[in-house]
């Protein structure tokens, strides 16, 4: 171990990301308006660096890096652009289900192209009608011989308008049984796939998240990910093993950006003849934000490290996502107070935008209410499902074996 839960290769990666930020991202900031949300230039450049496919095993053409590497890239980018980091992590989510439950045919066909940044995937689960209630999904897939016909709509899909393939979870049988959903890989160019008009959002500048509709879209059965009825497992393995840490990573970057802004402001602005930071109340507030950043870093790096070691880390992943997002919201609120009137004008300070960005980390990959629900169930021994990290991230899982054997 050469650094803080990192190795030398991780620190080399961090240096590469920082120089990309300086050369490619900073000169393009601020990323404002729908055109910036729909501009794929930066996400494609990041993908070609191999940052979408960091966790793809070498056996499938990837770099075989782990979750610590993914965390480093995501939070470093989020520190300057939470929207771009959100876009990057959304594409990483798209490959997770494929990696965990896809057939060898699908993995060999698509993972090398994702690893080389030729194509961008999405995870397409949420519908306006379902949200946290995944078994409430109404978009359907009906089997017709060796093909399926897909109909219905999906909402709030990260990278919806720039991606090349969608990992879609659909209803394949009635009711709310454990096997009512199935996952499919659907190419964005396929007939019957249509992204709807993009809406402006108040948060995450540069992040494309929107609606995708399917109308009598026909796909071969070979595009199915996992068995019929395994759709919830595809969605959960993606959300739990990738989503929770990814959103925690974006929230960590937001927290670091808040601290950067607060330190700059309180050391430069003078009141009563001295810098703001020299006033004990303000010093105390900055100390609280610093503590939030440090504890968020510890949570995120520890959870990523446990995943890379193949440990059972479900509770740590839940806690990291929940706590870091909440600490980001709390720190942004404190920063609003510290900045006073300056906080209300985007040209004067980034704080109001960061507050909105922090709030945007709450709904995806499990709302705060859902995380507390699951953690409470875990405390009382009431959690029904087996550990997802034990199932898919342990060295016994074929994807992990492929990574280890390629090392
Ligand atoms: C930035 C961002 C990126 C996203 N990216 C993607 C993506 O790439 N792909 C994708 O498929 N989706 C994506 N989503 C959608 C995301 O998955 C949903 O927002 C999430 O599932 C929550 O659904 P909802 O927003 O409809 O909230 P709801 O599920 O309607 O929840 C509303 C409120 O009810 C509470 N609640 C709901 N159920 C329970 C319960 N059982 N117990 C206690 N409280 C409960 C929640 O805690 C919340 O406070 C994204 C969303 C955002 C904001």
391 or 15, greater pLDDT: 15
pTM above threshold 0.85: yes
Reported as a pLDDT band with limits 50, 70 and 90, residue 81 is very high
pLDDT value of residue 11: 96
What's the chain look like in SS3? CCCCCCCHHHHHHHHHHHHHHHHHHHHHCCCCHHHHHHCCHHHHHHHHCCCCCCCCCHHHCCCCCCHHHHHHHHHHHHHHCHHHHHHHHHHHHHHHHHHHHCCHHHHHHHHHHHHCCCCCEEEECCCCCCCCCHHHCCCEEEEECCEEEEEEEEEEEECCCCCCEEEEEEECCCCCCCCCEEEEEEECCCCCEEECCCCCCCCCCCCCEEEEEEEEEEEEHHHEECCCCCHHHHHHHHHHHHHHHHHHHHHHHHHHHHHHHHHHHHHHCEECCEEHHHCHHHHHHHHHHHHHHHHHHHHHHHHHHHHHCCCCCHHHHHHHHHHHHHHHHHHHHHHHHHHHHHHHCCCCCCHHHHHHHHHHCCCCCCCHHHHHHHHHHHHCCCCCCCCHHHHHCCCCCHHHHHHHHHC
pLDDT given for residue 383 in this prediction? 86
Expressed in angstroms and rounded, the spacing between residue 154 Cα and the centre of ligand 1 is 13
pLDDT score recorded for residue 93: 95
Residue 403 — very low, low, confident or very high, per pLDDT cuts 50/70/90? low
The per-residue pLDDT for range 203-223, each reduced to its tens digit, is 999 999 999 999 999 999 999
* Residue 285 confidence (pLDDT) above 70: yes
Confidence class for position 111, pLDDT limits 50, 70, 90? very high
Overall CATH class of domain 233-406: mainly alpha
- 302 CA → ligand 1 middle, Å: 25
Each domain of the chain, given as residue ranges in start order, spans 8-120, 122-231, 233-406
Q: Which atom of ligand 1 is nearest to the CA of 130?
A: 26
pLDDT at 399: 72
- Asked whether the predicted pLDDT for residue 3 surpasses 80, the reply is no
371 alpha carbon – ligand 1 mean position (Å): 11
Chosen CATH of 122-231 out of 2.40.30.10, 2.40.50.100, 2.40.110.10, 3.40.640.10: 2.40.110.10
Atom of ligand 1 nearest to the CA of 361: 1
The alpha carbon of 183 and the centre of ligand 1 are apart by a number of angstroms equal to 19
Evaluate whether 95 touches 56 at the Cβ level (below 8 Å).
Answer: yes
299: buried, middle or exposed (CB in 10 Å: 19+, 13-18, 0-12)?
Answer: buried
Q: Whose CA is nearest to atom 7 of ligand 1?
A: 157
Tell me what pLDDT residue 1 has. Answer: 54
Burial class (CB in 10 A: 0-12, 13-18, 19+), 187: middle
Q: Which phi and psi (to 5°) does residue 181 adopt?
A: -120, 150
232-254: pLDDT as tens digits: 999 999 999 999 999 999 999 99
Dist. CA 156 → ligand 1 center (Å): 9
The tens digit of pLDDT for each residue in 352-366 reads: 999 999 999 999 999
Radius of gyration in angstroms for the set of CA atoms belonging to the chain, rounded to a whole number: 21
The reported pLDDT for the residue numbered 406 is: 53
Share of the chain above pLDDT 70, in %: 97
pLDDT tens digits, residue range 17-26? 999 999 999 9
Q: Which atom of ligand 1 is nearest to the CA of 154?
A: 11
Any idea which fold 8-120 has?
Answer: Butyryl-Coa Dehydrogenase, subunit A; domain 1 (1.10.540)
Q: What is the mean pLDDT of residues 262-281?
A: 98
- Around ligand 1, the residues with Cβ closer than 6 Å are 86, 90, 93, 122-126, 131-132, 156-158, 209, 360, 363-364, 367, 369-370, 373
Mean pLDDT for the chain?
Answer: 95
pLDDT at 385: 78
Nearest ligand 1 atom, CA 125: 11
Residue 60 Ramachandran class (φ > 0 left, ψ -120 to 50 alpha, else beta) = alpha
Q: Which atom of ligand 1 lies closest to the CA of 204?
A: 1
Q: What is the pLDDT of residue 384?
A: 80
């Amino acid at each position: 171990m050469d650094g803080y839960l990192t190795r030398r290769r991780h620190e080399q990666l961090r240096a590469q990301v920082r120089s990309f930020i300086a050369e490619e991202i900073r000169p393009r900031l601020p990323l404002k308006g729908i055109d910036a949300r729909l501009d794929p230039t930066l996400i494609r450049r990041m993908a070609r660096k191999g940052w979408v496919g960091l966790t793809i095993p070498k056996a499938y053409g990837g770099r075989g890096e782990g979750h610590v590497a993914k965390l480093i890239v995501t939070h470093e980018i989020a520190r300057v652009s939470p929207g771009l980091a959100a876009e990057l992590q959304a594409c990483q989510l798209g490959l997770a289900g494929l990696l965990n439950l896809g057939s060898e045919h699908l993995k060999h066909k698509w993972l090398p192209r994702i690893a080389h940044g030729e194509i961008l995937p999405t995870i397409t689960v949420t519908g306006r009608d379902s949200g946290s209630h995944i078994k409430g999904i109404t978009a359907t897939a009906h089997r017709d011989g060796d093909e399926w016909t897909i109909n219905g709509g999906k909402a709030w899909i990260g990278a919806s308008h720039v991606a090349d393939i969608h990992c879609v979870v659909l209803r394949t049988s009635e009711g709310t049984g454990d096997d009512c959903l199935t996952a499919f890989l659907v190419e964005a160019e396929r007939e019957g796939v249509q992204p709807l008009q993009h809406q402006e959002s108040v948060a995450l500048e540069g992040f494309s998240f929107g609606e995708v509709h399917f109308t009598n879209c026909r796909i071969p059965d070979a595009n199915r990910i996992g068995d019929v009825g395994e759709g919830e497992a595809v969605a959960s393995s993606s959300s739990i093993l990738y989503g929770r840490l990814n959103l925690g990573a974006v929230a960590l970057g937001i927290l670091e950006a808040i601290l950067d802004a607060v330190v700059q402001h309180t050391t430069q602005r003078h009141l009563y003849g001295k810098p703001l930071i020299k006033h004990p109340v303000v010093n105390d507030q900055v100390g609280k934000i610093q503590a939030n950043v440090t504890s968020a870093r510890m949570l995120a790096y520890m959870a990523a490290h446990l995943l890379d070691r193949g440990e059972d880390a479900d509770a740590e992943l839940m806690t990291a996502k929940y706590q870091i997002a909440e600490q980001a919201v709390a720190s942004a609120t404190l920063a609003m107070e510290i900045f006073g009137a300056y906080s209300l004008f985007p040209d004067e300070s980034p704080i109001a935008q960061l507050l909105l960005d922090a709030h945007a980390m709450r709904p995806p990959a499990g709302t705060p209410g859902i995380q507390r629900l699951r953690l409470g169930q875990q405390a009382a021994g009431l959690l029904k499902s087996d550990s997802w990290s034990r199932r898919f991230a342990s060295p016994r899982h074929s994807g992990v074996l492929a990574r280890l054997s390629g090392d």
